[in-house]
Structures are given as structure tokens and as C-alpha cells.
């Protein structure tokens, strides 16, 4: 894609864009108060105990959402930093195999999310070199990220106002992920819509609509994989086709088509579904802490610290769940074998036993690891790519509109959600 090319965003796609990327609507559909930031209530629960019986929703007095998993289990929740850190690190005891019980992930197919131990390590090793530094800097940035930022921001240069949630944040990771996989020329929004409907839309759409979306997605992916097998390119799928999976007996093999399909779907969901929210959270943090915006404007090297602090302060993925493979004691509490264990990092990342003034957004706090991208064997595979997308986007905004600020005439944005959190809007004056 040429540097000056813009991403087409037809007006007739606006309704679908709003439907797919409305944090407020998604929070409301999940039975949440869309005008409420739950952070204080989460803090209060953590201070009442680092390990508690019940799910995050039940502990907050919220109704459970049916259909999250296909197996009935007793819920326990880890809220303290040390407890959650242990839950992430000890993946054989707090097993991510429970992810296979998600109806949506069943439609995606087997992925590294539900694997543990050596199987997880073997399969992750095929993709991991493609997602780490320095490749994020010398491959992802020039090939997809920088181009996408330019293409999205250039059309805004003649405008006085914009909602950056819809006009930047939603589009950026969607574009980067689909093009990096080799889906050039596809309609990014339509593809993501069909992928979501085919995997998670059975409750909201007819069986015929779901089947049609699966046909569309599988057709696009089949064509893409066949093209890369015949003519490898400089993209992620070509890299996956080139790399080998090392088997327990010492032999190797290539990824199957089904494995490639599952990986591509996972990357699109994980990359597109979290980065847009986290970018919005980071922009909001910087605009509401004006000193941070000004400091980063003067020293762009500080932008990465702002991105990292926003991940601690308000990580978009607030909760991960595991299954206990044995009776296990955590902070003096026995969690029974077979229980669903919620790793509530929204609570852990503000634990005052780990972080000084944890509710403050402070880009100069001493360097400490947090749980914004998870931890241990299942730490987010695409974390470096996501960081570079956010850094590039904020740099692009500062280059064009150094006095960027919230629109005082627009409704005040709300930080909404529980498991998947984000800003309801980012209405700004482009100045």
C-alpha cells in the first residue's frame, strides 16, 4: 500500500462501524451500567480479600452472562497482585485449557490460548519470532503500522473535530492485522464483521446468517493461504508457512490449513479487539492529564512510558480465567480442583502492596512489571506490535495537532465495561 493511499471508509459502513466498536453499547448489552467506572468498587473488593469465592460479576452484585463457557463450574477470583501473578505463571495448575470451553473459541478452532506445557511452547514458537522486537520496529512499523497511521490521519487534516474512537482507534489495528496476514485488497470491516458473526454471533443472528458468514470467512482465508503457498510474500502467513512445528519425537512439520485458519482468526480477534480499546484509553489518559501530553510532546521517548502506564492503570482486558487442575492454596485460601479461577488483573494492577499511589496515572513511576498484557507462558503474543501501533498513532496525532484536546461541547466520554473495557468515545478538537 502506498504511503499516500487512504483507507476507504464509505458512509454506508458507518452504522456497522458504530455497532461493532461501541464500548457503551457492548457494556450495556453485558448488563453493565454504561455511566459507571467500576474501578473504585473493584479496589474495595480487593482490599476485602485477595482471594474470594465467586466471579467478578457476582462479587460486584451483577447478573451473570449466560454462554460464557459450556461447562458449569464453581467460580473463584484472585484480586491481589501476588495471587494473580501466580495464576498467570503456574499454567499447569491454573490451566488455560478452560479456554476450549468458550463457544466462540470453539468456532475459531484450536489455538495456543487453550494449550499448556510443551504443546503450547511448540506451537507458540512457530509464530513468536514474527511478533517480537526488533521485527516490530523494522518490519511491522514500515510495512503496515506507519502506513496505516498516515492513511487514517490524513483525511482528518481538513476537519475541526473528530471522534478518534471511530476514526482512528477502531480502524488502526483492524487494518494492520488483516494486511499483515496477507489479506490485502479485502474489506477489513466486512471481513471482521463476518468473522465475529461466524464465531460469536449465533445468539444475535439466524443460523443461515451465521453459516453465510462462515462461508465468506473460510473462502477469503482459503484463497489467501493458497496464494501464499504458491507465491510467498513478506507477511505473517508466509512466515508461518515457512516455519516448522517441532514435534515430541524430534521431527518437524508445517502448519495445517486448519491451524493457519485458527491462528489468523485468533490474531484478528486478539489484535483488533483489544488494541483499539487500549489506544483509546491511552489517548484519554494523556488528554485528561495534560501535563503528560505536554511532556510527551516535548520528549517523544516518553510516549512508550505513557502507553505502558495506561496498560497498568486501565488495561482493557480486565479479567482472564483458568481452571484449577488440583486443590491449591492461594493466600491461605483453598481453591478446589475443577474451579474456574478468574485472574482479575483490573484489581491486581492497582494493588497498593505492589504499586505506590496505584490509582494515579504516573508515567514516571519506578519501572515495575504489571499484568496489562498478562504474564508467564501466555503473555500476549502481540504485545510489542500493539505497543508500536499505539506509539505510532500518538506520534501521528502530535505531529499534526500538538494542541489536541477534548471537545468541550461533546458529551463527556465514559470509561466503561468490565471484562473488556474502554472509552465510550473520544470527541476531540483538532488543533
pLDDT per position as a tens digit, 395-421:
999 999 999 999 999 999 999 999 899
* Residue 416, C-alpha cell as written in the block: 466503561
Question: Rounded CA gap, 153 and 427, in Å?
Answer: 15
Question: pTM of the predicted model, to two decimals?
Answer: 0.94
pLDDT: which is higher, 325 or 191: 325
Reported confidence tier of residue 7, pLDDT bands at 50, 70, 90: low
What is the Cα–Cα distance from 147 to 151, expressed in whole angstroms? 6
In angstroms, the CA 243 to CA 237 distance is: 10
Domain edges within the chain:
32-401
| Architecture of the domain made up of 32-401 | Orthogonal Bundle (1.10)
Over residues 355-372, the pLDDT tens digits come to 999 999 999 999 999 999
Scan for cell 505506590, then name that residue. Answer: 356
Residue among 150, 152, 161 nearest 430 (CA) = 161
DSSP state of 269: H
pLDDT attached to residue 373 = 95
Residue 12, judged by CB atoms within 10 A of its CB (0-12, 13-18, 19+), counts as: exposed
Helices 171-180 and 257-288: crossing angle in degrees, nearest 10, is: 150
Q: What is the dihedral of CA 82, 87, 92, 96, to 10 degrees?
A: -160
pLDDT of residue 270: 82
pLDDT tens per residue across span 261-288: 999 998 888 877 799 999 999 999 999 9
Amino acid at each position: 500500500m502506498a504511503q499516500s493511499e487512504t483507507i476507504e471508509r464509505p458512509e454506508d459502513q458507518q452504522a456497522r462501524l458504530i455497532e461493532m466498536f461501541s464500548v457503551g453499547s457492548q457494556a450495556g448489552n453485558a448488563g453493565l451500567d454504561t455511566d459507571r467506572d467500576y474501578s473504585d468498587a473493584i479496589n474495595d473488593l480487593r482490599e476485602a480479600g485477595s482471594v474470594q469465592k465467586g466471579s467478578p460479576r457476582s462479587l460486584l452484585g451483577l447478573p451473570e452472562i449466560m454462554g460464557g463457557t459450556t461447562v458449569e463450574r464453581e467460580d473463584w477470583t484472585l484480586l491481589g497482585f501476588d495471587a494473580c501473578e501466580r495464576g498467570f505463571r503456574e499454567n499447569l495448575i491454573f490451566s488455560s485449557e478452560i479456554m476450549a470451553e468458550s463457544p466462540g473459541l470453539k468456532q475459531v478452532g484450536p489455538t495456543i490460548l487453550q494449550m499448556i506445557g510443551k504443546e503450547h511452547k511448540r506451537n507458540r514458537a512457530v509464530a513468536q519470532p514474527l511478533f517480537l522486537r526488533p521485527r516490530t520496529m523494522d518490519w511491522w512499523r514500515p510495512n503496515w503500522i506507519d502506513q496505516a497511521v498516515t492513511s487514517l490521519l490524513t483525511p482528518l487534516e481538513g476537519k475541526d473535530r473528530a471522534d478518534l474512537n471511530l476514526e482512528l482507534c477502531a480502524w488502526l489495528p483492524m487494518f494492520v492485522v488483516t494486511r499483515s496476514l496477507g489479506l490485502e485488497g479485502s474489506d477489513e470491516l466486512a471481513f471482521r464483521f463476518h468473522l465475529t458473526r461466524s464465531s460469536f454471533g449465533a445468539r444475535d443472528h439466524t443460523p443461515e446468517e451465521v453459516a453465510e458468514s462462515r462461508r465468506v470467512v473460510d473462502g477469503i482465508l482459503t484463497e489467501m493461504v493458497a496464494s501464499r503457498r504458491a507465491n510467498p510474500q513478506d507477511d505473517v502467513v508466509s512466515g508461518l508457512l515457512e516455519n516448522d512445528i517441532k514435534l515430541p519425537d524430534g521431527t518437524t512439520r508445517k502448519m495445517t490449513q486448519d491451524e493457519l485458519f485458527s491462528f489468523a482468526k485468533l490474531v484478528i480477534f486478539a489484535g483488533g479487539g483489544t488494541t483499539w480499546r487500549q489506544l483509546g484509553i491511552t489517548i484519554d489518559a494523556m488528554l485528561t492529564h495534560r501535563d503528560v501530553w505536554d511532556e510527551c510532546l516535548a520528549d517523544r521517548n516518553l510516549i512508550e512510558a505513557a502507553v505502558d502506564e495506561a496498560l497498568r492503570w486501565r488495561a482493557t482486558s480486565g479479567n482472564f480465567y483458568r481452571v484449577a487442575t488440583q486443590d491449591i492454596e492461594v493466600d491461605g485460601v483453598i481453591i478446589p480442583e475443577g474451579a474456574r479461577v478468574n485472574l482479575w488483573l483490573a484489581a491486581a494492577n492497582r494493588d497498593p502492596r505492589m504499586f505506590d499511589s496505584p490509582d494515579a496515572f504516573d508515567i514516571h513511576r519506578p519501572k515495575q512489571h504489571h499484568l496489562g498484557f498478562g504474564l508467564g507462558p501466555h503473555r500476549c503474543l502481540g504485545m510489542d506490535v500493539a505497543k508500536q501501533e499505539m506509539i505510532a498513532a500518538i506520534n501521528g496525532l502530535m505531529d499534526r495537532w500538538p494542541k489536541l484536546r477534548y471537545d468541550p461541547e461533546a458529551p463527556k466520554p465514559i470509561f466503561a465495561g468490565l471484562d473488556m473495557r474502554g472509552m465510550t468515545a473520544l470527541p476531540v478538537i483538532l488543533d
